[in-house]
Amino acid sequence: MFFQQFKVEGLGCLSYMIGCPQDGRAIVVDPKRDVDDYLRAAQINKLKITGIIETHVHADHISGAAELKHQTGAPIHIGAGSPVDYDHIPLHDGAEIVIGNAKIRVISTPGHTPNSISLALTDLVRGDLVEMLLTGDLLFVGSIGRPDLAGGELLEEQIRNAYHSLKVKLDEFPDYVEVYPAHGAGSLCGAGISAKPSSTLGFERRTNPFMQLDFEDFRKQLSQNTPHRPINFTHIIDTNLQGAKLTGELPAINEYKPLTCKNFLASDSERLLIDLREATAFGGAHIPSSFNIGMAPNSATWMGNVVKPESELLLLANNHKEIEDATTMFRRVGYDNIKGYIIGLSSWILAAEETGFLPQITVHSLNHVLNKYGNHTVLDVRNESEWLSGHIENAEHIPLPELINQGFSRNLDQHISVICMSGYRSNIAASILKQRGYKNVYSVIGGMSTWKAAGY
C-alpha cells in the first residue's frame, strides 16, 4: 500500500494520498486548495488519482476537491447526508473502497460536523487487520475536533455525537492502530493540538485529556470552552458546500496589477492594504491605514481573524516572491479578491507622501516606562490560557479577535503598549489601533516571552 501525508505549514492542515503501486491507482483525502503536490506525488510514484474523499465539510480552509476533480477527472466522495451542492458520491457507514492491496472502510463518526466520517485502512498484503485510522476532525493528536461549527442549536447533539464516536465507534479498534488526523498544531478546529503529525489509538486513550472524561465532564468541557470562531469560517464553509472556484477562474498572480504611489492613491479607497513586511520594517515606516500581517507560516490564520473574506485587498511586500506566496496562502483560507500589489515603499517615500510610524519598544523600555508613568496602558492581546500563564501587573487583557470585533475604549491620546507572546500579534493589534485613530501606540518587541526571559 502506498501512503503519504501532506502538511500545510501554519494552517496545520493534513491531507493524504492512499494507493497501490501494483494497481497504479490512488485516492486523495482532504486535499488543500492548491493541488500541485498531489499531482507531483502521483507522477513520481506512477499513480493515477482516481478518487477524492472529504472526511467532512471543512471550516478552516478551502478544499482542493473541485480543483483536483477538474484536473484528474476523479469523482468526489463525502459522508452520506452532507449538504453539498456539487456532484459527489455519498459514503455510508461500512462502505468499502478497494484499490489493489489498499482497503478503505468508511466509519460514520459525527461530532465535529453532523456527517463527518473516518477511514479505516488495511494493507491487504500484510493481512486483514486495520493498521491506520484517518480520523478527520474527530480525533487529533492530543485533542479532538470542536463540535460548535455546525451552529449553536446543534451543539448539544454534536457533543453527544462526538462522545459516542470517540468512545463507541472507535472502540472496535485496538491500541496499536495508528491515528492520522486531518489537522495538527496551528489549526483552529481544535485546541491544544500536538505538533506531532500522528499517534496511536492506545496512546491517545491514555494521554489525550478528552479521552479520559466521562460524558458529563466531557459535555461541560466542550460547552464552556468554545474556541474563538474566526471571521472567515462561515465564508469557507459556504464555499466548500458549493465547491470552490477553479484556479482558472481566478486571476493568475502575474496578472495582478503592480501599483506605484500614483496609481495606488488613485485606487479605490475601500480596498484594504495588507503590509506583509516584518514588524520592525512596518514600525519604521508604512502607508497610513495599512494592516501589518507579516509573512509567516501562520499569516493566513491571522488574516482570517482580522479581515473580512469579501474585502478587496492590496498587498505590500519586499519582493514578488512574497506576493506569490501570500496569494497562495490567502486563497487557501478564502481570500480571492486580491486586486493589486506594491513592492516596497520606495515610490511612496520618493513621492513625499505621508508615512505612518509604529514605535517598537523593548521590554526594558516598557519596564522603565511602567516604573515612571503610572497611567501608561499595557494591552495584552494573547489568548486566555496564555494570559493565565502569567501577565504584567495591571495590564488590560483583550484577546486579538475580541479587540478586532468589539474594539477598545480609551482616549485617543492615551499612551498604549501592546504586547503578545512574541511581537507578531501585537503589531497586528497596534496597526489596527493606529488605523482607528489612537496616536500614541507602541508594539513590544519579543513580547511576554522576552519579558519573562529578562526577569520581569
Could you give the C-alpha distances from 146 to 125, 224, 391, 448, in angstroms and in order? 36, 12, 27, 28
Rounded to the nearest angstrom, the gap between the alpha carbon of residue 19 and the centroid of all alpha carbons in its chain is: 27
Q: Nine-digit cell at 240?
A: 466548500
Could you give the C-alpha distances from 54 to 79, 199, 221, in angstroms and in order? 7, 21, 28
Identify any residues that bridge with 144 across adjacent strands, giving them in sequence order. 139
Quick check: helix, strand or coil at residue 14? strand
Could you give the C-alpha distances from 411 to 317, 437, 441, in angstroms and in order? 33, 10, 12
Q: Return the DSSP state at 411.
A: -
Could you give the C-alpha distances from 297 to 55, 57, 60, 169, 370, in angstroms and in order? 24, 23, 15, 35, 33
Judge whether 189 counts as a catalytic residue: no
Rounded to the nearest angstrom, the gap between the alpha carbon of residue 155 and the centroid of all alpha carbons in its chain is: 22
Relative orientation angle of helices 155-167 and 215-224, to the nearest 10 degrees: 140
Could you give the C-alpha distances from 320 to 96, 144, 334, 421, in angstroms and in order? 46, 39, 21, 30
* Strands, E assignment, 305-381: 313-317, 338-343, 360-361, 377-380
Quick check: helix, strand or coil at residue 103? strand
Q: Return the DSSP state at 447.
A: H
148/159 Cα distance (integer angstroms): 8
Residue carrying the nine cell digits 457507514: 93
* Strands, E assignment, 40-91: 48-54, 76-79, 89-91
- Catalytic annotation, pick one of 20, 189, 261, 420: 420
Instruction: Count CB atoms within 10 A of the CB of residue 330.
Output: 24
Planar angle of CA 253, 33, 41, nearest 5 degrees? 100
78/91 Cα distance (integer angstroms): 6
C-beta separation of 59 from 69 below 8 A: no
Query: Which positions are annotated as active-site residues?
Result: 420
